[in-house]
Chain A
């Protein structure tokens, strides 16, 4: 279990993470959803020991996370937002290097298993610099899994990847979910959080303000959304528990155009913050 207790991170006068309290149970697949600059990456860096909290503490299975806590580092896997590969090394060599750093004995079988998992067996002798963006990201995931971690942190793992590549990564992430890994994923792709996560956490301006299942978040707001463009040339949103309520509302409203659709996590986020995620 991961416990984040009263954690803040301040850079000069800017508070990137503001008094966050959060519990992530073992086996949970949690999506941290927020727009750019919301504090997602800073929170991941705090969780992985790359940054030291200005105040508060992080505990992983009861042990305090710090940059020098090797025992925790042996049990986590990290996929950062940017490519962290050795571009001169091949796919296979990148994984050997990761295995050597993690002091894994008999790593050849593990590497073969990972290459199959990420579907890069055919490309194992290619230099990392010659892989497509999606392949590089898959290799990064394999690197993060080299030590068979219990907990995996993924910071925007599909950003900048085409739809096909994104779906392949989603399959890999669903595989992790299926075998019970604890996963914390940051994203600003709504459909990604909706599709993969069994819990979603909303973050804005460094504050985490809601943690629920995606369904519960949408249910609480109302599963139907009336989105209409009014005479003041503004798009407005209203939320309803049923479709009838939504239809009745629009009949009594002045509009230029409207649509009635299912509520998304984007609506939930917008309702809380008045700010879109993407």
Chain B
């Protein structure tokens, strides 16, 4: 019931801010596509494909990460520190784990919406990408795990200013390093192995392999699932921390 209550509320929020959410979800990927796809990468062939085909799965991975993280982190941050409505949950007879699940699921859906928008934009750019069940599943897992991370992060901070630490030290480095815009194959082995552990690397690589080769390393699903579960429990743990 908690899950549906939160999803219902988030749907109203989404409906009411539909155009703002949509335009902001389109803006950054659109710029990446123009700058890196059309501009910089027009004549580049990488891993046997045009750079546009190469970069779109990376941008989808990146956008699902950012959108789902921000969708949850900003909502929870405002709810906790500004609107103070988060405390209402804690005095209500709600199951904290289900409450977290509702918020994270809502964030994951926002991530999936962002992926859908990029898919549409790519189509407008004349790029058709191959999407199968696994492509959708990986997008969802990526969205879910970063929504869960956003949930835990927002609850772990004591001031709005602390939120930028997560963006500066976690999200931004991952955005650029996890094989979203370039192939990890060219990196020195130690760096490659280290970056390869990160969830966004698995998402970028898997989505790209599905689009370019029609197959991918299924182990990545397990890795993303482990991250998703780990971050979910991080979020639930942070909810309990709220009740000091």
Q: Which residues of A contact B (CB under 8 A)?
A: 48-52, 67, 70-71, 73-74, 76, 78, 80, 82-89, 93, 96-98, 100-103, 143
Does B218 reach chain A (CB closer than 8 Å)?
A: no
Quick one: CB contact mask for B201-244 with A, threshold 8 Å, 1 for yes? Answer: 00000000000000000000000000000000000000010011
Query: Known interface pairs A89-B9, A100-B8, A101-B2. Does A84 touch B83 (Cβ–Cβ under 8 Å)?
Result: yes
Given A51-B244, A85-B83, decide whether A70 and B8 contact each other with a Cβ distance below 8 A: no
CA distance A51 to B83 in the complex (A): 19
Q: Is the CB of A73 within 8 A of B93?
A: yes
Measured between beta carbons, the chain B residues less than 8 angstroms from A85 are 83, 85
Chain A residues with CB below 8 A from B16, complex form: 88
| Cβ B5 vs Cβ A78 within 8 A | no
Q: Closest CB-CB distance, B105 to chain A, in whole Å?
A: 15
Residue on A with the closest CB to B8?
Answer: A100
Going nearest first, the 8 A-B pairs with the smallest beta carbon separation are A100-B5, A73-B93, A70-B93, A67-B243, A78-B91, A74-B93, A84-B88, A82-B84
Given contacts A49-B243, A88-B16, A103-B1, contact A80 B93 (CB under 8 A): no
List, in ascending order, chain A residues with CB within 8 A of B4's CB.
Answer: 100
Once the chains are docked, how many angstroms separate the CA of A84 from the CA of B4?
Answer: 20
Chain A CB count within 10 A is highest, among B4, B94, B240, for B94
Q: Which of A82, A83, A101 contacts B92 (CB 8 A)?
A: A101
CB B155 to nearest CB in A, in angstroms, measures: 14
Query: Main secondary structure on chain B at its contact with chain A?
Result: helix
- Chain A residues within 8 Å of B84, by CB: 80, 82-84
Known A100-B4, A103-B1; contact A50-B87, beta-carbon cutoff 8 A: yes
Write out the residue numbers on chain A whose beta carbons fall within 8 Å of the beta carbon of B166: none
Q: How many Å from the CB of A2 to the closest CB on chain B?
A: 15
Is B89's CB within 8 Å of the partner chain A? Answer: yes
Which residues in B have their C-beta under 8 angstroms from that of A84? Answer: 83-85, 87-88
For B1-24 the 0/1 string (1 means CB < 8 A from A) is: 110110011001100110000000
Q: A73 to B89: give the CA distance in the assembly, Å.
A: 10
From B12, B83, B92, A93 is in contact (CB under 8 Å) with B12
Query: Quick one: closest B residue to A51, CB to CB?
Result: B244
Report the Cα distance A49→B240, complex, angstroms: 11
Complex contact B91–A89 (CB within 8 A): no
Residues in B67-121 with C-beta less than 8 Å from chain A: 79, 83-85, 87-94
In the bound assembly, the distance between CA atoms of A100 and B7 in angstroms comes to 11
Once the chains bind, are A89 and B92 in contact (CB under 8 Å)? no
Flag if B91 contacts A143 (CB, 8 Å): no
- New contact pairs (6) apart from A73-B91, A97-B9, A98-B88, CB-CB < 8 Å: A52-B244, A70-B93, A84-B84, A84-B87, A84-B88, A100-B1
Provide 24 A-B residue pairs closer than 8 Å at the C-beta atoms, listed in order of the A residue: A49-B90, A50-B90, A50-B243, A51-B244, A52-B243, A67-B90, A67-B240, A73-B92, A76-B91, A80-B84, A83-B83, A84-B83, A84-B87, A86-B79, A87-B83, A88-B16, A88-B17, A89-B13, A93-B12, A96-B8, A97-B8, A101-B88, A101-B94, A103-B93
